[in-house]
Amino acid sequence: MLDRAVSDLGDRTRFAEIAFFGGSFTAIDRDYMRALLEAAQPYLDRFSGIRISTRPDAIDEEVLALLKLCGVTSIELGAQSMDDAVLKANDRGHTSSDVETAFALIRSFGFSAGLQMMTGLYMSDPQRDYQTALEFVRLRPDTVRVYPTVILRGTHLEELYLSGEFKPYSLEESVELCSRLIKLFDDEGIPLIRLGLHYSDSLIQNSLGGYYHPAFRELCESKLFFDSFLEKTRDFTDKKVTVTLNRRSLSKFLGQKKSNLIRLSGLGYEIKLQYEDSLGKYEFIVKQG
């Protein structure tokens, strides 16, 4: 199976990584972990490296030395929150201090270090989530992933939700927060390589309705452009405007199904578009007239 996957990728493998995700890689049975890494060895010269994800409390010098020997290049920590009260309430089994210690150790071994956070956890709120993001910025990870909390059936979180003890963010609240996180990480030059959960049939079947959207990042990016437009035009006296942006950002500016354009037209704006591809992904210029 792996041979076929490598063959299908062709020359693109040099831009790809072998990745072990979906669990805490360094917390699984050690012999099984070694077997997985050994299976990847014949393909290392075809790929840019091996990426794993794991828990902050499953990192020590011994396991990092083994990972280094086996060609692992990137390690992502599922920090989820940097608020100790939130971590405790969600039975994460580690503290924010554990995150910092593991992160520093990973860096000391020369790995690319990433951090993952979850927004909307039990006992959290948008302010606490944003503070977690600020703590990530302070640590300067090479990459970040942000996963909004989704309630899965058969979990303790479902029990808390059904009892009324846990109130998840609405989709609108989640989009509002995560659009701010996009801007924060982009302003700090920290790549946000994933926003929202990967689609799977199992996720759809086992999650409670209303708290997952397959195009979540697109919604957040559209929100970012909409809010930024209103901020830039706040003092304009003429609602006939020219917007200059990177051509690749056009769909984000227009919004999903042109929702931004429709809303702005409803506010009286007449928008002329032009393109300057030297502008950044979230940059655009608005002029009157």
For the stretch 143-198, pLDDT in tens is: 999 999 999 999 999 999 999 999 999 999 999 999 999 999 999 999 999 999 88
For the stretch 52-63, pLDDT in tens is: 999 999 999 999
| Residues paired with 18 in a beta bridge | 50
Residue-level pLDDT at 8 = 66
Residue-level pLDDT at 20 = 95
Residue-level pLDDT at 213 = 85
Residue-level pLDDT at 81 = 98
| Residues paired with 115 in a beta bridge | 77, 144
| Residues paired with 274 in a beta bridge | 244
Specify the residue for token string 């405790």: 88
Determine the Cα angle at 125 with ends 259 and 105, to 5°. Answer: 105
Asked whether the beta carbons of 224 and 282 are under 8 A apart, the reply is yes
Residue-level pLDDT at 197 = 86
Q: Where are the beta strands (DSSP E) in 60-109?
A: 72-80
DSSP state letter for 236 = -
Specify the residue for token string 């979990």: 155
Q: pLDDT below 70 — which residues of the chain?
A: 1-9, 209-211
